[in-house]
Amino acid sequence: DQQVKQNSPSLSVQEGRISILNCDYTNSMFDYFLWYKKYPAEGPTFLISISSIKDKNEDGRFTVFLNKSAKHLSLHIVPSQPGDSAVYFCAVTTSGTYKYIFGTGTRLKVLA
């Protein structure tokens, strides 16, 4: 049973426009959320995180939004750049468990 879902396997966006990647989770006990980016033949790298006490966190072009009542997480990239083309994973955890559960990933392609 998938606890963390990224329902869009792929997304194409024009350079300069906004990319919105979505993530849904089932367990309300999750209280810390991260986004990772993965290029081919490399390990995932950390992008941005958010705690359940916030509903928004911003870092440069990247903003993560958390809607706890809907159990929904989203990552906004503005403006999108060709170098952002990668697979994006959301990851969730519960305080004190020390382990993350990952979503299935969304492949983003930014078209020049």
Partner 1 sequence: NAGVTQTPKFRILKIGQSMTLQCTQDMNHNYMYWYRQDPGMGLKLIYYSVGAGITDKGEVPNGYNVSRSTTEDFPLRLELAAPSQTSVYFCASSYPDPRTSGSVTGELFFGEGSRLTVL
Please check whether residue 38 is in contact with residue 106, taking contact to mean a CB–CB distance below 8 angstroms: no
Task: Identify the H or E element spanning 47.
Answer: strand 45-51
CB of 103 to partner 1, least distance (A): 5
List, in sequence order, every residue forming a beta bridge with 32; answer none if it has no partner.
51, 93
36 or 108, CB closer to partner 1?
36
* Neighbouring C-alpha atoms within 13 Å toward the C-beta of 31: 7
Q: Shortest distance, CB of residue 98 to partner 1, whole angstroms?
A: 5
* Angstrom distance (rounded) from CA 18 to CA 106: 15
Sites of contact with partner 1 (CB under 8 A):
4, 6, 9, 31-32, 34, 36, 41-46, 49, 51, 89, 91, 93, 95-96, 98-105
Nearer to partner 1, 15 or 39 (CB): 39
Is the CB of 51 or the CB of 67 nearer to partner 1?
51
Please state the closest distance from residue 58 (CB atom) to partner 1, in A: 16
**How many Å is the Cα radius of gyration of the chain?**
13
